Amino acid sequence: MIEQYHNLASDYILSSNSDAIGIAILDFKKNSFEHFEMFEDLHHPNHEQGKVFFDLASVTKALVNGFSFIIQDVQDHELELLVNHRAGLPAWGILEKENWKEQILSYPIVESDTLYSDFSALRYMLEFEKKYHVNIYDVVKKHHHQNIVFWKDLTDQVTVQNGFYHAKPNIGKVHDPNAYNVEKFTSHAGLFGTIDALAETLLKFNQDFNLLDRFQKRSEKRFHLGFDTVENPQNTLAGAGCSDLTFGHLGFTGTSFWIDPKLSKGHIILTNATKFYWHDKHHLNIFRREFGASVWKNQ
């Protein structure tokens, strides 16, 4: 089944800013997945299928905040607002390296309309750790495949380029400027992973925590349990044809995963859409829609 997407992936690489892509199709009934990777020009002595690490960007939020919320069975109203981006915090801003925690903690938590917010994700991490007296990464990383890692822990892994730092290609460092500047673990961005590692992590988490069962009712708000949801199944980056129960997350570097609990199917896209610059996602979004629609149609 997966082979039918080779041409679609190849067309995306040839027409876009990316030079690398990994895709996977998940079957939660069979607890299995199919995947492949495609690279325009990647020469590295350690390169082999399933071993190239992509910057997961904001998919980190689901793998850290979303996972921790479920693992800990959080029943705290403020944490629920924070993990679901309804706590009234600003969407984004540059954080100072030395006092970023103080800056994030300075904002009042006020129940508000949904505003997707890196600051809300970071505040959730800080409040979660304070309430439960744990390190949030310690809570979740045991539920991650070994090939999902914090960017500062990368050693000789093969990674793809995402942007530039100091006029040099950014290879092996996180693309997000706040995660890069802080240099500490953050829950809004900073995880790297391979396509098969992310697939195995999502399948295993569903087995251990009944992830799909938690999305059997349509959420009244956009975010639920720290995951994004599909608001219009006919016009969504998850691909037309999924149900209105579909959930997942997008990453700024050109990553995403979407799971339809009604179909018990899912798909993952990992790319380096920010290889040279960040502002053009036109071809990426065309690919996201075409690939996703085909997956749902052929389930």
pLDDT, tens digit, 9 for 90 and up, residues 208-253: 999 999 999 999 999 999 999 999 999 999 999 999 999 999 999 9
Percent of the chain surpassing pLDDT 90: 92
Residue 242 sits in a domain whose CATH number is 3.40.710.10
User: Does any domain span residue 268?
Assistant: yes
pLDDT tens digit string along 90-142? 999 999 999 999 999 999 999 999 999 999 999 999 999 999 999 999 999 99
For residue 11, the enclosing domain spans 2-74+143-297
The identity of residue 142, as a single letter, is K
Residue 223's nearest CA partner among 91, 103, 113, 75 is 113
- Inside any domain, residue 130: no
Sheet bearing 32-39, strands edge to edge: 32-39, 20-27, 265-271, 255-260, 247-251, 227-229, 223-224
61-97 pLDDT tens trace? 999 999 999 999 999 999 999 999 999 999 999 999 9
User: Does residue 239 sit within a domain?
Assistant: yes
Q: Is residue 170 in a domain?
A: yes
Domain total of the chain: 1
Contact of 267 with 25, CB cutoff 8 Å:
yes
For residue 284, which amino acid is it? Answer: L
The answer as to whether 107 is a domain residue is: no
Residue 92 lies in a domain: no
Instruction: Give residue 278's pLDDT band: very low, low, confident or very high (50, 70, 90).
Output: confident
CA distances from 283 to 80, 237, 238, 288 (A): 34, 12, 15, 9
